[in-house]
Amino acid sequence: MKLHSVTLHHIKMTLKTPFVNSLETVNDRELIIVEAIDTDGYVGFGEGVAFTSPWYTEETLETSWHMLKDFMIPTLKAQVLPHPSDVEHLLKGIRRNPMAKYAIEGAIWDLYAKREGISLAEALGGTAKRIKAGVAVGASEPEVMLNEISKRIEEGYERIKVKIKPSQDLSLIRAIRKSHPSIDLMADANSAYTLNDIERLKELDQYGLLMIEQPLAADDIVDHALLQKELETPVCLDESIASYDDARRALSLSSCRIINIKPGRVGGLSVSKKIHDLCASQNIPVWCGGMLESGIGRAHNIALSSLPNFTIPGDVSASSRYWERDIILPEVIVENGSIAVPDGSGIGFELNRKELERVTLAKEIR
Ligand SMILES: O=C(O)CCC(=O)c1ccccc1C(=O)O
Ligand SMILES: [Mg+2]
C-alpha cells in the first residue's frame, strides 16, 4: 500500500438537540473526515473526533488538522505501508495526539480492508454479526431525561447511560429506577467528583448500576483505585485511558473493572485491539465509547465492537440518534436493540458525497 493523496474535510453537523454533560454543551459537531487514496485508486475513510475546544481531552480539531497535515500525512506518504497495524509504529516519533493518529490510521484500515475485499470487522478479527446498541442520554431537567429514556427504550435500546454530576445524581437515578427497575443503566460523570464525594458515590451502590464511568479526574488512576475498593459498583474508565500503557497500569492498580475503548482517545484501531486483548486476558469486559460521530466514525465503532470481548453494549447508536441526515448510505439503524455489522468491503457503508459537501466548511488535499 502506498498513499497517493489524503484529503481532509472539515465538516460541521448540527445535532438534533444539544448534548450536555458535566463539562460542556455541544450544539454543532465539527469533525475531520479523512479520505485516503492509494496509488492503485482505492479509497479509505477515517474520522477525526477532537472537539473544537479542549474540554474532553487536550486535542482540538485545529491541532488535529495541524498534526495530520504537517506531520502525520507527510510521514506516511513517504513510505510503503505494509499493513495498517504498522501505522502506530511509523507515527511513534510524534508524541500523543491520539485522535489525529486514529483519523489517518482508521482511513488506512478501511483502505486496506477494501484492497483485500474484506470487511473492516473481519480485518480487525471481529466475529459478531450484530452488536448490541446502547445510548447516552445527555444532562437536562430530570423530567426531560426520563421522557427521553422512555423514548430510547421504545426505540429498542437495551442499555441506557445518563450523565451525572454531584448536583444531579442520586435523585435522578432513584427516579429512573422507579420507572425502569431492571433496565441496564449506567452513569457517566466525566470527572465531576473527587475522593471527598466517596460517601455520596457509595450511595449509588443501591441502584444496581452496570457501572459508573469516569467519576474522578482524567489523570488519576491512583484515586480511582482507592474509590473502586470502596464501591460495589464497577468503575469504568474513559478519559483516564489514553494509551495501551494507561490500560495496563490501570488494570495492575485495579483502578477499574471495565474499560471504555474509544479508538480516537487511545490513538487508533490497532491500539484499541491491543487494549481489547489485554482486557480479555484479565477477564475485564470492554465496550465501545462514542464521540458524537458522523456515520464514518460510527462505522469504525461498529467494526471494532464485533471483537469478542466487547460484551457490554456501547455508546454505538443509530445515525438518527444525533443526525437529521448522516453522511453515509445506508444510515446506521437499530433493530431489536442491535446493529448489523456490515459484510461489504471496508467500513461497509458508502459515503453520501452530496451530504458531505453540504456540511463541509473547508477542505485540503495533501
Ligand atoms: O453517544 C455518544 O456518541 C457518546 C456520548 C458521550 O457520552 C460522550 C460524547 C462526547 C464526548 C464524551 C462522551 C463520553 O463518553 O464521556
Ligand atoms: Mg465518558
Interval 59-79: pLDDT, tens: 999 999 999 999 999 999 999
Kindly identify the ligand whose nearest atom is closest to the C-alpha of 134.
1
pLDDT for 183 equals 96
* Distance from Cα 295 to the centre of ligand 1, integer Å: 15
Strands (E), the chain: 3-20, 25-38, 43-48, 130-132, 135-137, 159-163, 184-188, 212-213, 235-237, 258-261, 286-288, 328-329, 338-340, 350-351, 360-365
Q: Rounded to 5 degrees, what angle do the CA atoms 176, 177, 183 make?
A: 95
pLDDT for 329 equals 98
Structural element, H or E, at residue 271: helix 269-281
* Distance from Cα 118 to the centre of ligand 2, integer Å: 31
Check if the beta carbon of residue 106 is closer than 8 Å to that of residue 139: no
For residues 272-291, average pLDDT: 98
Interval 117-136: pLDDT, tens: 999 999 999 999 999 999 99
Q: What's the rounded Cα separation, in Å, for the pair 148 and 21?
A: 15
Q: Any idea where the domains of the chain sit in the sequence?
A: 3-117+351-365, 123-347
Cβ–ligand 1 distance for 105 under 6 Å, the answer: no
ipTM: 0.99
Of all protein residues, the one whose alpha carbon is nearest to atom 10 of ligand 1 is 291
Which stretch of 17-26, 53-62, 216-225, 304-313 has the lowest confidence by average pLDDT?
A: 17-26
Average pLDDT, the chain: 97
Cβ–ligand 1 distance for 289 under 6 Å, the answer: yes
Cβ–ligand 1 distance for 215 under 6 Å, the answer: no
Residue 198: pLDDT band (50, 70, 90) is: very high
Neighbours of 274 (CB within 10 A): 18
For residues 10-35, average pLDDT: 95
Checking phi first, is residue 41 left (phi over 0); if not, alpha (psi -120 to 50) or beta? Answer: left
Kindly identify the ligand whose nearest atom is closest to the C-alpha of 49.
1
CATH number assigned to the domain covering 3-117+351-365? 3.30.390.10
70 carries a ligand binding annotation: no
Q: What's the rounded Cα separation, in Å, for the pair 304 and 226?
A: 31
State yes or no: pLDDT of 56 exceeds 90: yes
238 carries a ligand binding annotation: yes
For residues 279-293, average pLDDT: 98
| Torsion angle of the four alpha carbons 248, 259, 282, 303, in this order, in degrees rounded to the nearest 10 | -110
Give the SS3 label for residue 18.
strand
Q: Compute the residue count for the chain.
A: 366
Q: What's the rounded Cα separation, in Å, for the pair 277 and 358?
A: 40
Give the SS3 label for residue 225.
helix
**CA distance readout (Å), 163 to 19, 149, 159, 252, 320:** 10, 12, 14, 28, 20
Check if the beta carbon of residue 122 is closer than 8 Å to that of residue 113: yes
- Active site residue: 101, 132, 161, 163, which one? 163
What is the CA 89 to chain-centroid distance, rounded? 22
pLDDT for 23 equals 87
How, if at all, do strands 338-340 and 130-132 pair?
A: antiparallel
What single DSSP character describes residue 206?
G
Give the SS3 label for residue 19.
strand
State yes or no: pLDDT of 22 exceeds 90: no
Check if the beta carbon of residue 149 is closer than 8 Å to that of residue 180: yes
Cβ–ligand 1 distance for 292 under 6 Å, the answer: yes
- Nearest Cα to Cα of residue 332 among 289, 275, 281, 294: 294
Question: What percent of the chain lies above the pLDDT cut of 90?
Answer: 99
Catalytic site residue 163? yes
For residues 78-100, average pLDDT: 97
For residues 229-254, average pLDDT: 98
Q: What's the rounded Cα separation, in Å, for the pair 273 and 261?
A: 9
State yes or no: pLDDT of 268 exceeds 90: yes
Residue type, 326: D
Give the SS3 label for residue 260.
strand
Neighbours of 38 (CB within 10 A): 19
Homologous superfamily (CATH) of 123-347 is Enolase-like C-terminal domain (3.20.20.120)
**CA distance readout (Å), 269 to 51, 196, 229, 325, 333:** 19, 36, 31, 26, 23
Give the SS3 label for residue 112.
helix
**Cα atoms in the Cβ-side hemisphere of radius 13 Å centred on 154:** 6
Q: What's the rounded Cα separation, in Å, for the pair 35 and 42?
A: 10
